[in-house]
Amino acid sequence: MITPIQGFSKLTKDQKIKWIAENYTSNTAHTTTLLERYWNTDAKVQKLHDEFIENTITNYYLPFGIAPNFLINDSLYAIPMVIEESSVVAAASKAAKFWLTRGGFKAQVLNTEKVGQVHFMYDGDADQITSFFKQLKPILKMDAALLTKNMEKRGGGILDIELRNKTKELKNYYQLHCTFETQDAMGANFINTCLEQFSKTLRREFDDSALNTQNKETLDIVMSILSNYVPNCIVKAEVSCPIEDLNEDKNIAPEVFAKKILRAVEIAKAEPFRAVTHNKGIMNGIDAVVLATGNDFRAVEAGVHAYAAKNGNYSSLTHASIENGIFKFWIEVPLALGTVGGLTSLHPLVKLALEILQKPSAQELMKITAVAGLAQNFAAVRSLVTTGIQEGHMKMHLMNILNQFEATESEKIALIDYFKKHTVSHSAVVEALAQLRHK
């Protein structure tokens, strides 16, 4: 019987591994060897990884790939992508190649506003707290001046602080809704530090005010935290060309192809079940770049999907149009990204990814990332309305199946050649491998 352990975080890494292996796995020696195999051979790099999070016992590797030939605003990029899913990098690369000779991608940042909130409960009169806030607002900024000084030197800082009455949604609920500009930093620590100072100032000023001393009204600060929903931190990416230039596939007329793309996007706008998978494909591209550049993909995912439902129904993040003989395909998406701070200056591969991208600013990275999402979606929709998604995906997945059954190099060569002319499925690969081995 396994018993709870005290002081696990204080154990050495070897002791942690030994405890996990002995208590939770069936083969202690195999577990230990496996975990140690994924350590970095450079002790300095391994120590860096060990200190990223708590209780580390090894590293978990994901493939680091490159999608080349992305022409973005007339500059050529090779985009680093970190992802485990078959065909994502190949699909992005294919979309990049398709648009390379059709004008490439255009991208622009529409806004960079980020949000944080101080949530509090107040049981008094709404007009009185509104009047109190007018006096409080300059004090909030003044008390945070030391925190914002360096950010302001870089062109960032506090943009605005609003009092929002949310009592219709929840009894006695109010918030300080605060907006920030954080320049090249994602800014989470900066925003949260400012918010905590705001809450201290709010507490102090309210306690000394007539609302408390005379009216005996109460104010309870619940929490202070940034929001990962950033509907005013938006980047737009697009591609367009004359319909007749959509002529790469000889099996489908350009006009028919353009209309099929348009219909597929319209379906994703109208049908949430389709929209979720449609947008998941977009996030294949976005998350892969976000991971490669050391940003927070969970925050990005949460904010993007909230944005997809901003009108009350979950819908497509991409759009398409056909006007005056021009096909246009575009995306507007919230992306709060950074190129300084966090892992960007610590993780060796993150630093390399940013170097490959020519050391972009946060706004440049927003553009590149949005383009990756748009390219991924175009590639997916293009496959769906022509050959179907499985033909390309399963051929990329073939290698995973072969590795699962420990195929030799000669077996891989033979079966890759065989499935150039046959449909790939898990059962078909297993059967073909068995027949090959029987021979």
Question: Of the candidates 331, 322, 200, which has an alpha carbon nearest to the alpha carbon of residue 268?
Answer: 331
Residue 387 neighbours by CB under 8 Å, 6+ apart: none
CB 186 within 8 A of CB 338: yes
How far apart are the C-alpha atoms of 22 and 28, rounded to whole Å? 6
- The vertex-311 CA angle with 309 and 315, nearest 5°, equals 45
How far apart are the C-alpha atoms of 226 and 117, rounded to whole Å? 6
**Which listed residue (106, 236, 280, 328) is catalytic?**
280
**Which listed residue (49, 114, 367, 393) is catalytic?**
393
How far apart are the C-alpha atoms of 302 and 188, rounded to whole Å? 15
How far apart are the C-alpha atoms of 157 and 147, rounded to whole Å? 9
CB 342 within 8 A of CB 290: no
**Which listed residue (50, 85, 143, 271) is catalytic?**
85
Residue 42 catalytic? Answer: no
**Per the structure block, which two tokens stand in for 38?**
């994924």
**Which listed residue (296, 364, 367, 397) is catalytic?**
296
Residue 296 catalytic? Answer: yes
- The vertex-211 CA angle with 210 and 215, nearest 5°, equals 95
- C-alpha dist (Å) from residue 349 to 86, 297, 331, 377: 21, 16, 28, 26
**Tokens 């796995």 identify what position?**
25
Residue 280 catalytic? Answer: yes
Residue 393 catalytic? Answer: yes
Catalytic residues, which ones? 85, 280, 296, 393
